[in-house]
């Protein structure tokens, strides 16, 4: 359930490039509605074509996230222990982890509906929260909130909270334990190994 809800967070930005300069709430709403419609109609995605989903995510999603900020938040206080090279490696591996973990779940979206809650932003504000509810047949609504920040390139997502659980802090305890056990290099190696286990090409080769 958690993976599928986090995947909706990614789905909402698959086609965001044309709307990058919109107000954050308008960006979330327009793109989410557009992309969910695409997913519902795309037979390849519905049939579990993970390669197609990953290709879309790589091309359309990644430019609209501040992955350095997301990674720093996920690593927490240990981020400052990493040198510049290690920080760069962590960003690359964490980005790959998120994409590979949640791409599979995008194939399961057919009947969800998104309700966008009232949004207010003060003039000049550069850090905002856009709140939504996900309505799923036969289940209670799930709150899905987006944290966005205004950068020179436009609004970027740096965290999402699903049913009260932050995406980045959800990893923090796990990453902290890895650093305590094996240091920063150990954390990088651990995420890299996880990414390899999630690689659809590697899985196909094993069959």
pLDDT band at 119 (very low <50, low <70, confident <90, very high): very high
More confident residue, 62 or 156: 156
pLDDT at residue 81, as a whole number? 95
Angle value at C-alpha 147, between 144 and 152, nearest 5 degrees: 145
pLDDT band at 177 (very low <50, low <70, confident <90, very high): very high
In percent, the amount of the chain with pLDDT more than 90 equals: 38
Closest by CA position to 98, among listed 117, 80, 115, 73? 73
How far is Cα 179 from Cα 170, in angstroms, rounded to an integer?
16
How far is Cα 59 from Cα 89, in angstroms, rounded to an integer?
20
Mean pLDDT, range 136-150, rounded to an integer = 87
The pTM for the full model equals 0.80
Query: Please, what is the average pLDDT of the chain?
Result: 81
The architecture of the domain spanning 2-206 is Roll (3.10)
Q: What is the residue extent of each domain of the chain?
A: 2-206
- Whether residue 4 is predicted with pLDDT greater than 70 in this model: the reply is no
pLDDT at residue 205, as a whole number? 46
pLDDT at residue 45, as a whole number? 73
Closest by CA position to 155, among listed 125, 199, 111? 125
**Among 40-44, 63-67, 76-80, 107-111, the least confident range:** 107-111
pLDDT in tens, 19-47: 546 788 887 787 677 667 767 777 887 77
pLDDT at residue 91, as a whole number? 97
Mean pLDDT, range 148-157, rounded to an integer = 90
Grouping H, G, I as helix, E, B as strand and the rest as coil, residue 109 is coil
Residue 163, number of CB atoms within 10 A of its CB: 14
Grouping H, G, I as helix, E, B as strand and the rest as coil, residue 23 is coil
Using the 8-state DSSP alphabet, how is residue 62 labeled?
G
């Amino acid at each position: 359930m958690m993976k599928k809800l986090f995947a909706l967070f990614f789905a909402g930005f698959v086609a965001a490039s044309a709307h990058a300069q919109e107000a954050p709430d308008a960006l979330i709403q327009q793109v989410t509605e557009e992309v969910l419609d695409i997913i519902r109609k795309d037979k390849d995605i519905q049939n579990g074509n993970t390669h197609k989903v990953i290709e879309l995510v790589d091309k359309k999603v990644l430019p609209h996230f501040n992955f350095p900020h997301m990674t720093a938040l996920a690593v927490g206080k240990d981020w400052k222990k990493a040198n510049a090279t290690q920080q760069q490696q962590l960003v690359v591996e964490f980005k790959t982890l998120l994409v590979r973990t949640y791409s599979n779940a995008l194939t399961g979206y057919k009947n969800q509906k998104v309700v966008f809650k009232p949004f207010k932003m003060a003039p000049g504000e550069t850090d905002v929260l856009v709140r939504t509810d996900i309505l799923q047949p036969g289940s209670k609504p799930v709150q899905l909130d987006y944290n966005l920040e205004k950068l020179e390139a436009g609004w970027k997502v740096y965290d999402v909270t699903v049913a009260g659980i932050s995406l980045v802090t959800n990893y923090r305890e796990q990453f902290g334990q890895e650093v305590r056990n094996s240091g920063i290099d150990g954390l990088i190696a651990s995420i890299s190994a996880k990414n390899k286990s999630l690689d659809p090409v590697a899985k196909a080769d094993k069959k």
